Amino acid sequence: MISLHFQAVPLALPGLLISAVIAAVASRWLARRLGTTRLPAALLIFGATGPLFVTLTPTSAALGPMGLTGGGRHCALGLGTLAPAHLELRDALNAAMFVPLGLAVGLLWRQRSRVRLLPAALLPAAAILAAQFLLMPWFGRTCQLADTITNTTGVVVGLAVAAMLRPLIRRPSAATEHSGHGTR
- Residues 123 and 56: beta-carbon distance below 8 Å: no
pLDDT in tens, 158-170: 999 999 998 887 7
Burial status of residue 55 (CB atoms within 10 A of its CB: 0-12, 13-18, 19 or more): buried
φ and ψ at residue 76, rounded to 5 degrees: -105, 115
- Residue 35 is predicted with a pLDDT of 84
**10 in a structural domain:** yes
Number of domains in the chain: 1
Q: Return the half-sphere exposure (C-beta side, CA atoms, 13 A cut-off) of residue 98.
A: 28
* The model's pTM: 0.74
**36 in a structural domain:** yes
Torsion region of 67: left, alpha or beta (phi above 0 gives left; psi -120 to 50 gives alpha): left
CA pair distance 159, 156, nearest whole angstrom? 5
pLDDT in tens, 63-109: 655 444 445 545 555 555 555 545 577 788 888 999 999 999 888 87
Domain that holds residue 73: 2-179
**184 in a structural domain:** no
**162 in a structural domain:** yes
The rounded Cα 82 to chain-centroid distance in angstroms is 19
Which of 150, 17, 19, 13 shows the shortest CA–CA distance to 92? 150
